[in-house]
Chains A and B, each alone.
Chain A
Amino acid sequence: MSRPFDFSTDKIEDLLSIDPEEGKELVEKLIANYLTEAPKTIAAFKDSAAKDDLDNISFRAHKMKSTSGNIGLVSVSKIAAELDEATDLPLSDATRKKIKDLIEEFGHHFNLSQEVLKPYSKRNAA
């Protein structure tokens, strides 16, 4: 069962408060970067999990932790952090299952995140 989706507008509002115009441009870039990178990351997670390549999962999860956190995607960032930590566990069937579950949960939260980011993304503004 997946945890509740959590999105905080604080990070985005902080950037907009620094400079409304340039902050908006930056937020759009950060969101575009996330929307581009996350699907590639999910595909890489799945591929790496099938090969027991935990280093690659760790590296990508670590990166996704701040990429999502920078735009206030609290639960996505948290799942990425847990995935990163799970790669430190001794490799076993239980670890594989934990990683597989977290990857699925990450994918689910990514789908949910696309909706909440719409008001801030360039694609929507256009």
Chain B
Amino acid sequence: MRSHVLIVDDNESDQLNLSFILKKDGYQCSVAKDGYEAIDFLLNSKERDPVSLIILDLTMPVLSGMATLGRIKETPAISHIPVMVVSGKKDKNDVGAAIKSGAKDYLVKPVDADILKKKVSQLLTNQKSDWGEVSIPTSDLTKGFFNTPAELISINEVSLTYRSKFPLPLKETTNVFAPILEEAGINGCHTRVLDCKKGNDGYYYIQFELVGLNQQQSKDLRIFCRKVYADSKTPKSA
């Protein structure tokens, strides 16, 4: 699957230029012309491939780039998506403020095509390198979810963590929760991997985020997961 990059820029010339360079480098690109459109796109992208990187301009009407960055970072469902600011502003205060507010990188316009490609590749590679690389059939992972050694270890709003003997295969992340959601009677949301780390106990701790849940679904899911969690802690009688 090609990584999906969202370009947030009101300037048509920059939209065309950035999209062309990145599409030709193998990325899938979408464009939003202001911050509201970007956040709406990110929160309602169930039917599309999830966005892996946001390229954000700073000087935009309606909602400025800094305000957009702030909203992205305070919205749990999308806060994990790395943001690279691409702006005509080159003052060190602007750069510092963007990085302090959560941007992963900063590039000054007009962009050099090679530098843009390199930075985008670096950001996406770094993001992926923290996750697992070993490929395991999805069925094995989901089966393992309800059985030892995989178990839920925390439930926090829409973020779920479980531990497994295996690292998580990148390509299969989005389907891991499908059987659980189905059993919980929840439709219309999808999962994203937030983190995958190997603990001192030798297990992999994999944190998921569920995107696109409404309030009731979120509540139902938490009740369901608590039950699964409780069951997994209860010793099975002989």
Which of A29-37, A96-104, A110-118 forms part of the interface with chain B? A29-37
Q: Which residues of A contact B17 (CB under 8 A)?
A: 15, 26, 30, 70
Give the one of A23, A34, A62, A84 with max B CB within 10 A: A62
Known contacts A26-B17, A30-B17; A66 and B24 CB within 8 A of each other: no
Q: Does A5 contact B (CB under 8 A)?
A: no
B16 interface neighbour in A33, A37, A63, A81, Cβ under 8 Å:
A33
Give CA–CA (A53, B222) in the complex, Å.
Answer: 53
- Chain B interface residue count, CB cutoff 8 Å, equals 19
**Given A33-B12, A33-B13, A34-B13 in contact, is the A66-B109 Cβ separation under 8 Å?**
yes
CB closest residue in chain A, given B59: A62
Contacts of A19 in B (CB 8 A): 24
B13 touches A67 (CB 8 A): yes
Across the interface, do B11 and A18 meet the contact criterion of CB distance under 8 Å?
no
Q: Could you mark each residue 52-80 of chain B with 1 if its beta carbon is under 8 Å from any beta carbon of chain A, else 0?
A: 00000001010000000000000000000
Query: Which B residues form the contact surface with A (CB < 8 A)?
Result: 10-14, 16-17, 20-21, 24, 59, 61, 88-89, 109-110, 112-114
Report chain B residues within 8 Å CB of A67.
11, 13-14
User: Are A26's CB and B16's CB within 8 A?
Assistant: yes
**A11, A23, A63 — most chain B CB neighbours (10 Å):** A63
Cα(A66)–Cα(B11), bound, Å? 9
The answer to whether B20 touches A18, judged by C-beta atoms less than 8 angstroms apart, is: yes
